[in-house]
Amino acid sequence: MKTFDVCVIGAGPGGYVAAIKAAQLGKKVVVVEREKIGGVCLNCGCIPSKAMITAAHMFEKMSSLSEIGLSASNINVDMTKIQNWKESVVNKLTTGVSGLFKMNGIESIMGEANFVSAQELELNCSNGEKEIIKASNYIIANGSRPIEIPGFNFDGKNVLSSTEALTLNPTPKRLVVIGGGYIGLEIGSYLSKFGCEVTVLEANSSLLSGVVDTDCVNVVARKLKKKGVNVMLGAKAKGYKKVGNDLQVELQTEKGIQTVLCDKILVTVGRKPNSDQMNLSKIGIKVDQKGFVVVNKQLRTNISHIFAIGDVAGQPMLAHKASREGIIAAEVIAGKNAIADYKFVPAVIFTDPEIASVGLTVEEATQKGFEVATGQFPYAANGRALSVMDAEGFVKIVADKKTNVVLGVHIVGYEASNLISEAALAIEMGATLQDIASTIHPHPTLPEMMMEAAEAAMGHPIHIFLRPKTDRAARPTTRNAH
């Protein structure tokens, strides 16, 4: 039997961060991972999908170089080389994490973990051996997996999860995406740029339903239509069958039963936590109705020396939220007074254009009783956006009209993912519209739009004209002090 101060189960962005932080704080740490170091995010999720999206975006840009007076010929897609490059990106990151484990004195064991008691863990190691681990503290970070739906069981050949979709080579001629959420739209969008005919089936009345600002979604929806992606709303996939060399998907719509032919089917209707694994129920770990492990502000489960972080511990199921929780759990174990006290978790959707959001939407703020002021600034009025040929979208700021405190920021457009962090910091610090508007932003840059949107919320943007409106925030005569 091996003994440790901390045993982390799962080496994804929550688990590996927790392990490194715990080791930095002087703890003897072991990480147990059943598949690959880096988890879903690094190996078959966040990183490979963004690599493929980047490749598709560059291909699309190269195809339109003539617009700015450049000519290029023989622009071809070599999917084998693209896939190899994607894997090289993944390997650099996963190798880096393994190296950090060694440098921080963290032991890593590949294998399947199961609790035999609240104090001991049995490992079925990948080398065929069994081990027993005993730790003073455990951090459950075993993540989530794609949800299957009736009639569309994953087989890796006809019906794909996001994992298999990211390895498609060659690109299918026709793809049906079941689910108009962020994963399906990200993968469907980049495959369409590589020449795939994409049909998205969404059971709800809108894409990204209830996820982000509806005005942002509308911009993405228009771009999908412009690029030839067929989006069918209110369409419920019922099943499929082989018809010759084709797959025929049957769907229920308000017009009745319809069918769509394709070569591959991608199911992206969400993910579910892996709380049904590792004998968690056997040792009495509490799980809520949605399958998430119940934790408190310190990420402790109902068994105080066992913590849970990341996807298995609740929404939002985002890598950066998992990483932050990993740090908190490690600090709590080390005796620090740490809690999950952040106001909001920023989110990014890598569609075309990107959507990034943090804080409350107008509707959410209104429901919470705020009198709202909003300011919106378009990419089309920003010099940098025009110079990089990406002028679709806007930055929207939502603020408390009475106090000018920023409540939410929603961005759709080029590099939205890199713009949202300023907004997250502003909201976390309780910044006002005046704080953002009075901060000098370098020119010409995209972040200037944040400053202009704050000015717009107060009714006086410089680079667009606004008629006076009653929903503008009051403009202070002096900068607010905090």
Measured distance CA(292)–CA(278) in Å, rounded: 14
CB atoms within 10 A of CB 334: 17
pLDDT (0 to 100) of residue 482: 37
Domain at 159-269, CATH class = alpha beta
pLDDT at 80: 97
Query: Rounded to whole angstroms, how far apart are CA atoms 329 and 298?
Result: 6
Residue 344 above 90 pLDDT?
yes
| Predicted pLDDT of residue 74 | 81
CA distance 417 to 421: 8
User: Average pLDDT for residues 348-375, to the nearest whole number?
Assistant: 97
Phi, psi for residue 247 in degrees, rounded to 5: -105, 125
Q: Look at residues 153, 114, 147, 157 and name the one whose alpha carbon lies nearest to residue 133.
A: 114
Residue 340's alpha-carbon distances to 10, 60, 236, 303, 310, in angstroms, are: 20, 41, 38, 18, 12
Which backbone phi and psi does 272 adopt, to 5 degrees?
-125, 145
pLDDT computed for residue 135 by the predictor: 98
144-146 and 271-273 strand pairing: antiparallel
Contact 179, 269 (CB under 8 A): yes
Q: What is the full DSSP assignment across 218-278? A: HHHHHHHHHTT-EEEET-EEEEEEEETTEEEEEEEETTEEEEEEESEEEE-S-EEE-TTST
Element (H, E) at 148: none
392-403 mean pLDDT: 98
User: Could you give the C-alpha distances from 247 to 159, 160, 243, 378, 475, in angstroms and in order?
Assistant: 10, 13, 6, 42, 59
Residues 6+ apart with CB under 8 A from 458: 373, 375, 404, 433, 434, 437, 472, 473, 474, 475
Residues 91-112: tens digit of each pLDDT = 999 999 999 999 999 999 999 9
State yes or no: pLDDT of 405 exceeds 60: yes
Query: For a pLDDT cut of 70, what percent of the chain falls above it?
Result: 97
Asked if pLDDT for residue 479 goes beyond 50, the answer is no
Q: Give the residue extent of every domain in the chain.
A: 2-146+272-333, 159-269, 353-457
Q: Tell me, what's the pLDDT at 299?
A: 98
Say if residue 442 is preceded by a cis peptide, omega within 30 of 0. no
**Distance in angstroms (rounded) separating the CA atoms of residues 226 and 102:** 49
What is the C-alpha to C-alpha distance for residues 341 and 322, in angstroms, rounded to an integer? 14
From residue 28, give the alpha-carbon distance in Å to each of 4, 25, 31, 268: 5, 9, 10, 39
Give yes or no on whether 2-146+272-333 and 353-457 have one common fold: no
C-alpha–C-alpha distance, residues 453 and 460, integer Å = 9
Residue 256 φ/ψ region, left for φ over 0, alpha for ψ in the -120 to 50 degree band, beta for the rest: left
The reported pLDDT for the residue numbered 481 is: 38
Q: Which of 76-90, 197-211, 462-476 has the lowest mean pLDDT?
A: 462-476
pLDDT band at 304 (very low <50, low <70, confident <90, very high): very high
Distance CA 37, CA 471 (A): 50
Q: What is the pLDDT of residue 473?
A: 67
Q: Which residue's structure tokens are 């900068």? A: 479
Residue 320 appears among annotated catalytic residues = no
Whether residue 313 is predicted with pLDDT greater than 90 in this model: the reply is yes
Spatial CA neighbour of 125 closest among 114, 134, 135, 136 = 114
- Tell me the one-letter amino acid at 24: Q
Domain spanning 2-146+272-333, CATH class: alpha beta
The predicted structure's pLDDT at residue 477? 43
**pLDDT-derived band at 474, boundaries 50, 70, 90:** low
Query: pLDDT-based confidence at 211, cuts 50/70/90?
Result: confident
Q: Over the chain, what is the mean pLDDT?
A: 95
Q: What is the pLDDT of residues 414-460, one digit of tens each?
A: 999 999 999 999 999 999 999 999 999 999 999 999 999 999 999 99
CA distance 140 to 142: 6
Q: Residue 449 burial by CB count (10 A; 0-12/13-18/19+): exposed, middle or buried?
A: buried
**For the segment 21-63, what is each residue's pLDDT rounded down to a tens digit?**
999 999 999 999 999 999 999 999 999 999 999 999 999 998 8
Give the pLDDT of residue 475: 56
Residue of 247 and 479 predicted with greater confidence? 247
Per-residue confidence band for 64, with pLDDT thresholds at 50, 70 and 90: confident
CA distances to 22, 241, 326 from 26, in Å: 7, 57, 16
353-457 is a CATH 1.10.760.10 domain: no
**The one catalytic residue among 443, 460, 463, 482:** 443
How many CA atoms, within 13 angstroms, populate the side-chain half-sphere of residue 191?
Answer: 30
Look at 64-73, 334-343, 454-463 and tell me which has the smallest mean pLDDT. 64-73
Residue in 237, 169, 168, 227 with CA at minimum distance from that of residue 198:
227
Side-chain half-sphere of 14: how many Cα atoms within 13 Å?
Answer: 27
Give the Cβ contact number of residue 135 at 10 Å: 23
Percentage with pLDDT > 90 across the chain = 91
- Please determine, for residue 295, whether its predicted confidence score (pLDDT) is greater than 60: yes
Peptide bond into 444 cis (omega under 30): yes
Judged against a pLDDT cut of 50, whether residue 470 lies above it is answered with yes
Residue 396 has pLDDT above 70, yes or no: yes
Q: What is the dihedral of CA 418, 421, 423, 424, to 10 degrees?
A: 150
